[in-house]
Amino acid sequence: MKIIVGLSGGVDSAVAAYLLKKQGHEVIGAFMRNWDSMLNNDILGNPNNVGHDICPQEEDYNDAIKVAEKLGIELLRIDFVKEYWDNVFKYFIDEYSKGRTPNPDVLCNKYIKFDSFLKFAKENGADMIATGHYAKQINGKLYKASDLNKDQTYFLSLLSKEQIGSCLFPLGDITKPEVRKIAKELDLIVADKKDSTGVCFIGERNFRQFLQNYIPAKEGNIIEKSTNKILGKHIGCMYYTIGQRKGLGIGGISGHKSGSYYVCSKDVKNNIIYVTQEDENDVLYKDNVIVKDVNFLIDKPSSWFDCQAKFRYRANDELVSIRFINDNEVEVKCKNKVRAITEGQVAVFYLGDEMIGGGTIDKVF
């Protein structure tokens, strides 16, 4: 087949391209440019002319060029800056301004890598696209990767059946150490390159400082939940997330096991952050969740349905029961209380290793 691989400049996509070529496919690489550090205010509406020179995108592109040369494949460069701004970044800022914690990587996959990129690939004669995600696609269904420590089905939870069925995931059956080993044997420049972390458009920059360029700081009170005592000040509800411990600036209490305060809830309207000592009570632990904008990949159940749910990428799978409240909204009841479920994050549903859907956490009880 003719396969266009999203070549990011990292080791995973490089080895994915190699494996496909080894299988006899016609492989073309494509580097997606999703963020422009030099774009003008009037084009993107950047309110404070914020520079983003810390984004390592150009370095990644140079690495992708060297990988393509080493593998003997063509490399295309595609510009999705406007699509990324419209479908990912604007949503990211809007959600943060509401005091929620969105996941831009999930949206990037839905709107950019498996939509704009897929359309581009089809227009250029590709039979399929491929990425370096750790996941398995079997007969149009998505399953966890063999390397459960690296499994990335969480980030693919908003994809449609058509999007899933159009993509190959060559790394689904191998582990990260095996990927590194293959890259070293091929003498690829990215063999020992660190995995990218955090949000692309922020890079190594301080996250809170970045947000302040788009969402004005607004001082408010930090209040202890159990006593209603004011412990200090914060610079804005939107800069903090549920379960956060660091960066509160209020210290801890001696004599408690945790010794620290954690954000347990936020009153965005009144600009108040509530904190708790985790060993004092269980206000950080919830067991009832409303998930909206649900993308469900199997037949919708007509009554309560048992499955597993993951409420953030590195979290454990939780035993849950779900029911549809309406066409795209689900109530989730957890068998056990779960720590720091956060509004705006993504809840992903599984039946064993099969990823069956996901949506945005809207309310937590």
- Decide if 108 is catalytic: yes
Question: What residue spans of the chain are helical by DSSP H?
Answer: 11-22, 41-44, 57-71, 81-84, 90-97, 104-108, 117-123, 161-165, 176-185, 207-212
Active-site annotation holder among 108, 237, 264, 307: 108
Query: Which helix H or strand E contains 73, and what residues bound it?
Result: none
Active-site annotation holder among 200, 237, 264, 307: 200
- Decide if 334 is catalytic: no
- Give the side-chain half-sphere CA count within 13 A for 93: 18
Q: Is 260:252 a contact under the CB 8 Å cutoff?
A: yes
- Measured in whole angstroms, how far is the alpha carbon of residue 343 from the centre of its chain? 14
Q: How far apart are CA 93 and CA 101, in angstroms?
A: 10
Nearest to 218 by CA among 129, 346, 96, 62: 96
Q: Is 30:54 a contact under the CB 8 Å cutoff?
A: no
Q: Is 29:73 a contact under the CB 8 Å cutoff?
A: yes
Phi, psi for 205 (deg, rounded to 5):
-70, 150
**Catalytic sites, residue numbers:** 108, 200
